[in-house]
Amino acid sequence: MEYTNLGKTGLMVSRLSFGSWITFGNQIGDSVSERLMDMAYEAGVNFFDNAEVYAQGESERVMGQILKKKTWRRDSYLVSSKAFFGAGAEVPTQRGLSRKHLVEACHQALERLELDYLDLYFCHRPDKATPMEETVWTMHNLIQQGKILYWGTSEWSAQEIMEAHMVARQNNLIGPVVEQPQYNMLVRDKIEVEYSQIYKTVGLGTTIWSPLASGLLSGKYLTDQDASARLHRAELGWLAERLLQEEPAKKVKALKGFAEELGVTLPQLAVAWCLKNPNVSTVILGASKPEQLAETLQSASVLPLLTDEVMDALDVLLQNKPVHPPY
Ligand code: NDP
């Protein structure tokens, strides 16, 4: 496993990490969750991603129980939580990025995860109804209190991230050091264009999500044999509607052929393609079955095959290479 600095911080993160969205406390049993965490940790993964909203808090509870059973030293791994959507929010104070919700969500996540501090704490989405000053001061104070070590954003625009940095600089506060955006062969703009300046200016690190576009980039939906797969889950009809379309299917079919010619599997090619981008600090893997994780944990072995020629050929196939503005 390779490790890299998370942006300009001193924090070393494994280039492959592991997340629990949809799976822990929901799609899979706790013993499978434990097996997956064991496999990840044994392969050198040091970052486990979570959020208050995953299975409405259950995902954090399951991860906390697993971590408690292990003899892993606390200084050998990182755990995150994210606040914004609430853990089954019923009233307005239970969501958003207000001081009240950020502090309460942090305390609740620590309780569910049975931890003393979070390594990373993300603002899961921007909150236009809360002043930026309130959010930045709150995150800074949580760091001062030792409840979180680093803070970041998820799916914020470059402008919002810079606004947070402006507020932090004006007040001598600690700003966000990491962003968690979607990035995969089908979704490229934020990582490849929008943030391109702020990797340099603020030293932004990234923990990217859905490297397989929720499993679409495994190629399994081309034959549709896996009835238990994510995009067949009733509660994810909205996601299936977005992803199970003719255009992406054509690309996935071509990618599958391409992977076969290279002599690798499509999930490994798709994850390695994300790893190839130096602005990606860590690729967060997801899995519902041990064999899936065993496959994607080997993705770095594909990197030597991703020469400039191969990357160019993939761009021709993908037809979505973002155009950089001419400045
Ligand atoms: P992926 O796009 O990699 O999708 C993972 C899913 O794809 C698995 O659960 C499994 O689903 C299927 N899969 C994985 N490996 C294989 C394989 N080898 N062959 C076939 N199918 C496979 O990642 P996620 O969407 O799960 O995102 C990863 C993590 O990122 C999340 O757990 C979460 O921590 C984070 N995240 C953050 C978000 C944010 O807003 N900040 C949003 C979404 C995710 P199945 O078996 O059910 O088909």
What is the 274 CA–ligand 1 centroid distance (Å)? Answer: 14
| Arithmetic mean of pLDDT, 196-223 | 96
* Rg of the chain on CA atoms, in Å: 19
Asked whether 127 lines ligand 1 (CB < 6 A), one says no
Q: Which of 27, 33, 184, 214 for mutating ligand 1's site (highest number of atoms within 8 Å of CB)?
A: 214
Buried b / exposed e over 183-206, threshold 16 CB at 10 Å, is: bbbbbbebbbebbeebbeebebbb
| Euclidean distance between CA atoms 236 and 229, whole angstroms | 11
pLDDT band at 326 (very low <50, low <70, confident <90, very high): low
Asked whether 292 lines ligand 1 (CB < 6 A), one says yes
Report the pLDDT value the prediction gives residue 87, as an integer from 0 to 100: 97
Report the pLDDT value the prediction gives residue 327, as an integer from 0 to 100: 62
Report the pLDDT value the prediction gives residue 6, as an integer from 0 to 100: 98
Report the pLDDT value the prediction gives residue 226, as an integer from 0 to 100: 82
Domains in the chain (CATH in brackets) are 3-217+274-298 (3.20.20.100)
**Catalytic site residue from 54, 77, 150, 221:** 54
Q: For residue 194, what is the DSSP state?
A: I
Q: Is residue 150 annotated as part of the catalytic site, yes or no?
A: no
| Euclidean distance between CA atoms 13 and 283, whole angstroms | 10
pLDDT band at 224 (very low <50, low <70, confident <90, very high): confident
Which residues on adjacent β-strands are paired with residue 283?
A: 16, 208
**CA-nearest residue, atom 16 of ligand 1:** 292
pLDDT digits 0-9 by tens, 118-171 = 999 999 999 999 999 999 999 999 999 999 999 999 999 999 999 999 999 999
Lowest mean pLDDT among 97-101, 151-155, 320-324: 320-324
Q: Which of 284, 291, 293, 295 for mutating ligand 1's site (highest number of atoms within 8 Å of CB)?
A: 284
| Euclidean distance between CA atoms 129 and 243, whole angstroms | 30
| Arithmetic mean of pLDDT, 298-321 | 97
Q: How far is CA 282 from CA 4, 188, 189, 260, 300, in A?
A: 8, 15, 17, 25, 12
| Euclidean distance between CA atoms 249 and 99, whole angstroms | 43
pLDDT digits 0-9 by tens, 243-289 = 999 999 999 999 999 999 999 999 999 999 999 999 999 999 999 99
Place of tokens 């990491």: 178
pTM: 0.98
| Euclidean distance between CA atoms 299 and 15, whole angstroms | 11
pLDDT band at 323 (very low <50, low <70, confident <90, very high): confident
Asked whether the beta carbons of 296 and 267 are under 8 A apart, the reply is yes
Give CA angle at 19 (271, 63), nearest 5°: 155
pLDDT band at 324 (very low <50, low <70, confident <90, very high): confident
| Euclidean distance between CA atoms 179 and 83, whole angstroms | 14
Asked whether 153 lines ligand 1 (CB < 6 A), one says no
What is the 214 CA–ligand 1 centroid distance (Å)? Answer: 5
pLDDT digits 0-9 by tens, 60-73 = 999 999 999 999 99
Asked whether 81 lines ligand 1 (CB < 6 A), one says no
Q: To the nearest whole percent, how much of the chain has pLDDT over 90?
A: 96
